[in-house]
A and B are shown apart, each in its own frame.
Chain A
Amino acid sequence: MMHLVLPFRFEWLWSDALVWLLVASVIGFAIYTNARPHLRAPWARVSRSASGLAAATVLALFVIVGLLDSVHYREALPSQDGKAAYATELRSVLDRLLQPLRASREKTYSAPLATHLYAKETVQLPDGGEVRVFPRLRHGGAHLVDPQQDWARDVAVKAFRGLAIALLVWFVAAIGVCAAESRRATAGIESVWRDVWAGRTAVPWRAVLAALGLLCVLIGPVTALAPHYHVLGTDKVGQDVLYQALKSIRTGLVIGTLATLVMLPFALVLGVMAGYFKGRIDDLIQYLYTTLSSIPGVLLIAAAVLMMQVYIENHPELFPSTEIRADVRLIALCVILGVTSWTGLCRLLRGEALKLREMEYIQAAHAFGVSHWRIMMRHIVPNVMHIVMIALVMDFSGLVLAEAVLSYVGVGVDPSMISFGTMINSARLEMAREPMVWWSLAAAFVFMLTLVLAANLFADAVRDAFDPRLIMAGRHS
C-alpha cells in the first residue's frame, strides 16, 4: 500500500504560534478599528505623517522577513519503505528562500564580494612543494574563470541587472499607487502622478514611494549578487553574514513585540485598578511596582535569566532539540523582559485612571448602579488606550536595543540563536584583528540602525497622532 509522503511537515515552534496569534489579533484589531470612525481618526493622522509612513514602509519589509522566518517545517527524507520520515533539522520558509546563502559555507573569513579567502593558507602544489596563497572561495565567485580579469565586470553587470529589475518593480508599484489614488480621487492618473510628486496628496505617497525606491535600489543589486557572491562577506566559521543579518530580524521583532504583550496585561489591569479603586488596593499596587522598579532593570533580568539557565541545564529532558531549547529561551526572555518592565506604563495608567474616575460620566455610571467591573471595562479602559498604544510602539525599539546588550552580558538569547546581540558579541574582537574584519559589525550595525530608526520614527508619528495634549496644542514636533 502506498503512503502519501508530503515533501515537508509543518512544525510550530512556540514563538511561531505566538507570532501568528499576534498577527491575527492585529488584523482583528484593524478590522474593528476601521469600522469605528473615532478609533480610525488617530490612525488617519498617522497616515498623514510623511516620516511615519516612510518608516512604516521599511518596517513592513522587516516584518515580512520576520514572518517568513516564523513558518518552520521539516523536509522529508528519501525513504525506502514508503513511510514518512522527516529531517531532524528545522527550517523556515526564509531558510528555503535563502538556501544559496545558507548552504554556501566557506572555510573562514572572506570580505564582501570577495573571490578569495581573507587569510593566507598553505597549499600543496602537485609537484610536492608548498606555497602560501589566498585560496579561492568554494562558493563566492566560483563561477568566474579568471577572477582578476572578470570580477569587476561580472559584479557590475549583475548589480546593474538587479538594479534594473528593481527599478521596474518600483515603477510598477508607483503606477499602482497612482492608479488607486486616481480611482479614489476620480482624477486622471497623470494629474495624480504630478500631485504625488509635488506632495499634494492627503496621504504622503511621495514619502512611501521614496522609501520604497531606496529599498529597491539596495535590495535589487543585493538579490542579483547574493546567489553568486557573499555580498556582506563571511564570518569566522565561513557563514554568510547577509544570511545572519536577515535571520536576526525575527529575533529582534519577536523580542520587541512579545515582551510588550506580556507586559501589557500587568500594566493595564493593575494600573487601572489602582487608579480606580484608590485606597488600600492602590497602596498595595503602588508598593508592588515601587518594589519591582527599585531593582535595577538589567540586574533583575540577569538574575531571572540566570535562574532560567540553571533550570534548563537541570531539565534537559524537556528540550528535545537545540531549536526548541533556543525557542523556549527566547520566549522565557520575552516573559522576563515583560514582567520586569510593566511598572512604567502601570504608573502612567494609574495616573490617568485617577483623573478619569472623577469625571462626570463615571459619576453618572455610578449613580445608575453600573458595576465596578463594567465601569472599568466600558468607561476607563477605552479612554486610556491611547496611552497603551503609545507605550506599545515606543517600547519596541528599546527592547530591540536591549536584546543586543543582554546578549553581550550573556543573559540574552540562546547562543545558538542568530540575533543582533550574538552577531555583535562574536564579532566585537574582530576590529582589533590585523587585518581588520569589519563587515560582520557593519552588517549588524546597518540592519539594527535601520530597524530601530524606522521603529522610532513610526513611534513618534503614532505618539503625535494619539497624544491628546499634542493634538489640542496643535503642535507637531
Chain B
Amino acid sequence: MTAYIIRRLVYGVFVLAGVNVLTFALFFFVNSPEDMARAQLGAKRVTPAAVEKWKRERGYDKPVFLNDKMPGSRKLTETVFFDKSVRLFAFEFGASDQGRNIGYDISTRMWPSLAVQVPAFVIGLAVYITFALLMAFFRATYVDFWGVVLCVLMMSISTLFYIIGGQFVFGKLWNLVPISGYDAGFDALKFLVLPVLIGVIGGIGSSSRWYRTIFLEEISKDYVRTARAKGLSESRVLFRHVLANAMIPILTGVVVVIPLLFMGALITESFFGIPGLGSYTIDAIGQQDFAIVRAMVFLGSVLYIIGLILTDISYTLVDPRVRFS
C-alpha cells in the first residue's frame, strides 16, 4: 500500500514536470518576451528601450535555457526557464508582471475562495445525492420522469444566468442579501449565502442526473436482486446496499475536486466581488498578467494531482477488494 502511494507520488511529480514544460513552451515559444512586452505596453508606447526595461524588470532578459556568462551551476539557474518554471516546484511564484508578490496574494486570497467553495461543495453533495436517491427510489414513475426533465432543463441553463437571475431575485427584488461584496470575519456570512446557494443550484441538473445513473446501474446488479429475495425492504436495499456500493463511482468524481476547491470559482467570485483566487485569476487574464496565469496553472495542476492521489487512497478505504489486493 505504501509502495503504491509512493509510486503514485513519483508519477505525480513526472506529470507536474510535464505540465511545467508545456506551460513554459506555451508562454515562451508561441510568443517571445518581446511580443508580450509589446502587448503589455500597448502599441503606442513601444520603444526598444521600453521593451528592454519591461523585460529586465521582470527577469525575461536572461537567456532561455543556458547562461554562458555565469560560472558553474549558475549557468543553469540564471535563466528564464529556471526562474519562471523550475522555481515553481518550490512554490516560489515570484512577482507578477505588475510587481505584486504572487505567493502572498495566493495565501491571503485562498480563504475567501474556501469560504464559498467548501459550503457549496458539502451542501451540494448532500442535495444532489438526496435528489438522485429520490429519483432512483421512485424510478420509472412520474417522480423520476419529471425529476429527469427538471435535471435536463437545469443543466441546459448557463451558469451566468443562474448568477444574474439569483442576484436579481434575491439581491434586488427581495432585498434579502447584498448583491455583491465581501467582508472580514463573520460579517462575510451575508455575502456568502447567495454565492453558495447559486453554486448549489447551478450543479443540481448535471450532478443529480449523474448520481441517478450511478444508482440505477447499481440497482440492476445481482446483489440487489439477492437482497430483495432475502425479503429486505426497498428502502433498506437502497440505503444499506446500493448507497454503499455506489460510493466507489461517486468517490471517483468527488474526491478529485476537493483540493481544487482552493482555486475558487472563476465566474461566481467575479460576479459577487469575492476577493478569492477565482477573481484573482480573472483579473490576471483581463490584465494579461502572464506570471499570475502561469502560477495558477501550476497550482491547479498540483491540486489536481493531489486529488488523484487522494482518490486512490480513498478507494483503499472504502473498497476492501482494492485494500487487500
A interface, CB within 8 angstroms of B: 287-288, 290-296, 298-300, 302-304, 306-311, 313-314, 397, 401, 404-405, 408-411, 420, 424, 428, 431-432, 441, 445, 448-449, 452-453, 456-457, 460, 473, 475, 477
Contacts and interface: CB of A to CB of B under 8 A. Distances in A.
Contacts of A404: 158, 160
A303 B30 CA distance: 11
A296 B27 contact: no
Contacts of B22: 291-292, 295
Nearest to B144: A477
A312 B167 CA distance: 36
B314 interface: no
A298 B293 CA distance: 11
Interface stretch (B122-130, B185-193, B295-303): B295-303
30 contacts: A287-B15, A290-B15, A291-B18, A294-B15, A294-B16, A294-B19, A295-B22, A295-B301, A295-B304, A299-B296, A299-B297, A303-B23, A304-B26, A306-B293, A307-B26, A310-B31, A310-B35, A314-B39, A404-B158, A408-B160, A410-B286, A411-B285, A431-B168, A431-B172, A445-B157, A449-B156, A449-B157, A453-B156, A475-B220, A477-B139
Given A307-B31, A310-B35, A313-B39, A424 B160 contact: yes
B172 A314 contact: no
Contacts of B36: 310
B159 interface: yes
B31 A456 contact: no
A291 B15 contact: yes
Nearest to A305: B285
Given A288-B18, A314-B35, A457-B152, 4 more contacts: A287-B18, A291-B15, A296-B304, A410-B286
A296 B264 CA distance: 12
B172 A408 contact: no
Contacts of B250: none
A311 B304 contact: no
B142 interface: no
Interface of B: 14-16, 18-19, 22-23, 26-27, 30-31, 35-36, 38-39, 43, 139, 148, 152-153, 155-161, 164, 167-168, 172, 179, 216, 220, 260, 263, 266-267, 270-271, 281-282, 285-286, 288, 290, 293-294, 296-297, 300-301, 304-305, 308
A455 B123 CA distance: 29
A303 B172 contact: no
A296 to B, nearest CB: 4
Contacts, number: 135
Contacts of A288: 18
A2 to B, nearest CB: 46
Contacts of A309: 39, 288
A81 B267 CA distance: 56
B163 to A, nearest CB: 9
A310 B160 CA distance: 27
Contacts of A287: 14-15, 18
A452 B156 CA distance: 5
A462 to B, nearest CB: 14
Contact of A456 (B27, B156, B270, B282): B156
A405 B270 CA distance: 12
Given A299-B296, A313-B39, A404-B160, A409 B267 contact: yes
A298 B26 CA distance: 15
